[in-house]
Amino acid sequence: MSLIRRKRCFKKSLAGVMALMIVLTGCVNSNSANKDHESKQMLVIQHATIVDVKSGKLTKDQTITITDNKISHIGSSDETDIPDYAKVRDAKGQYVIPGLWDMHVHLEENYKNAFPLLLANGVTGVREMGAAFKNIDQWNTSIQAGMVAPRLLYAGMTLNGGPADDAPHMRYLKTEEEAREAVRLNAEKGASHIKVYSWLPRPLFLAVMDEAKKFNLPVVGHLPVEVRASEAIQLGFKSIEHMHGLFIATSSMEDEIFKTADMSDLLGYSTAEIKASSNYDPKKAEKLFRSLKEKGVWPVPTLTAYLNMAKTEIDSRSKYVPTAVQESWAEIIRATPPEQTELVHVINSLNPTMVQKLNDAGVPMLAGTDSSYELTNMIYGVTLHDELKLLVQSGLTPLQALQTATLNPAKYLKREQDLGTVEVGKLADLVLLNKNPLEDINNTTTISAVVLDGKLMEKQTLDQAVKTYPVVKVADIKVKPTDPNAASNKIILHNH
Ligand SMILES: [Zn+2]
């Protein structure tokens, strides 16, 4: 999510990533080479400490038996028999958590870079939040051809109104019939959810909500600026991205803002939210938070997206990001007006206060980053750990933060029988950590191995699949004012 956007015209350097992808693919398929044991593939993780992300309980010296892609047994290591054909992984001193989910990413054309980065960071599932159909075809084709990828749920194209720009992932809708047709097209494309955007007019939003119900698809995204949070919640809107509208909805000025504020672009919208925040109405908030809980609506704070928008240098961890992308980020940073950076600083000071209020009120949240290479410093996978850290800084306990990326996504997806905890019967998506994440949330980065759908990938293998590049410095980017494609000439209001 960004207040600005530039036309992207960088080329990807894919050869290296492709080559290393073979390492990953090879690793994951290696078991299938052994035909004898194909019917009883077994991975055993021994001597692990299991982190119960429901209760925060740690159970030491456990053996997790994984048959095919599911956890088939968990028991104390000294009492669990191991068949001789099982592959055994010693996890002595290590902590096992469920695979992490990033509930707000944009893969665009970056999937060959994004998938290995996500997996290397323990992200075994992503909710994609708006892409062109040709990108969806690329991901699906590559995954079907054997590319190793996190579990992927996607929205199809983002449904928006207002004047069309050249964003390839958006449909700019004018009529209710178009809105219904757009829902149908996304559903046909295999969408798991329908993403709406800020400028979708209220009557079209109502049509989208109604049509999506017919396909049993949740509607998520930006709260359209014409729609009040209270109304969207009652209608069954499923997740509120970037906490949009929550400051306005908890303000005594809500009516006035809806009557008078210019919310025709995101700068105006953000300004209205900031204004609203100074007139916080605790009674209104209590009612709103209660309805979020009762209706099962999930706020997705994406704190890390806002934080990165205020950065004025390329993150050193951008070594994982192709040089052309880093250069485009440097151009965005250079072209961002200081007043916008100031505004984002204010948003960054307010957002944690809303997260804290939601958490104090017992409203569960989802971890999402808004990772996209159109947004500066939004490195796939890496940013999810930043988000967890920011949630803790906003008042969540490390356990609650961990839940936003494990248990809560499983609940949102209504897939608690498969996902979200380390328990018998669930899909074997696991992360092995060297340090206890409940002691310090930063320890989610101490990844030793990842299990995806029952397949073990050691950190070394995961890292080999991630290419590195020199880190670009903003000051090193030469401004080319005569270049009509230069970022400085292409700044337009936009968001993800
Ligand atoms: Zn987004």
Per run of 10 residues, the mean pLDDT along the chain (length 496 residues) is 41 39 39 49 97 98 97 95 94 98 96 97 98 97 97 98 88 97 98 97 98 98 96 98 97 96 89 95 98 98 93 92 94 89 93 98 98 94 98 98 98 98 98 98 98 98 95 80 45 50
For residue 166, what pLDDT is reported? 81
What is the CA(1)–ligand 1 centre distance, in A?
5
What is the CA(293)–ligand 1 centre distance, in A?
23
What is the CA(197)–ligand 1 centre distance, in A?
10
What is the CA(178)–ligand 1 centre distance, in A?
22
Cα(207)–Cα(195) distance, integer angstroms: 13
For residue 477, what pLDDT is reported? 78
For 279, phi then psi, to 5°, come to -125, 50
What is the CA(242)–ligand 1 centre distance, in A?
8
For residue 481, what pLDDT is reported? 53
What is the CA(283)–ligand 1 centre distance, in A?
30
For residue 495, what pLDDT is reported? 62
Cβ burial, residue 344 (10 Å; 0-12/13-18/19+):
buried
What is the CA(371)–ligand 1 centre distance, in A?
7
What is the CA(128)–ligand 1 centre distance, in A?
8
What is the CA(368)–ligand 1 centre distance, in A?
9
Q: Which residues surround ligand 1, an ion (CB under 5 A)?
A: 129, 370, 496
What is the CA(384)–ligand 1 centre distance, in A?
14
What is the CA(29)–ligand 1 centre distance, in A?
33
What is the CA(418)–ligand 1 centre distance, in A?
26
What is the CA(355)–ligand 1 centre distance, in A?
18
What is the CA(361)–ligand 1 centre distance, in A?
25
Cβ burial, residue 268 (10 Å; 0-12/13-18/19+):
middle
What is the CA(496)–ligand 1 centre distance, in A?
4
What is the CA(192)–ligand 1 centre distance, in A?
16
Extended strands (E) in 130-206: 151-153, 158-160, 170-172, 194-196
What is the CA(54)–ligand 1 centre distance, in A?
28
Residue pair 407/367 in contact (Cβ under 8 Å)? The answer is no
- Cα torsion 364, 367, 369, 370 to 10°: value is -60
What is the CA(158)–ligand 1 centre distance, in A?
10
Mode of pairing for the β-strands spanning 151-153 and 123-128? parallel
For residue 39, what pLDDT is reported? 60
What is the CA(170)–ligand 1 centre distance, in A?
12
What is the CA(13)–ligand 1 centre distance, in A?
24
For residue 163, what pLDDT is reported? 85
What is the CA(90)–ligand 1 centre distance, in A?
39
Cα(352)–Cα(87) distance, integer angstroms: 44
Cα(485)–Cα(465) distance, integer angstroms: 32
What is the CA(405)–ligand 1 centre distance, in A?
17
What is the CA(22)–ligand 1 centre distance, in A?
30
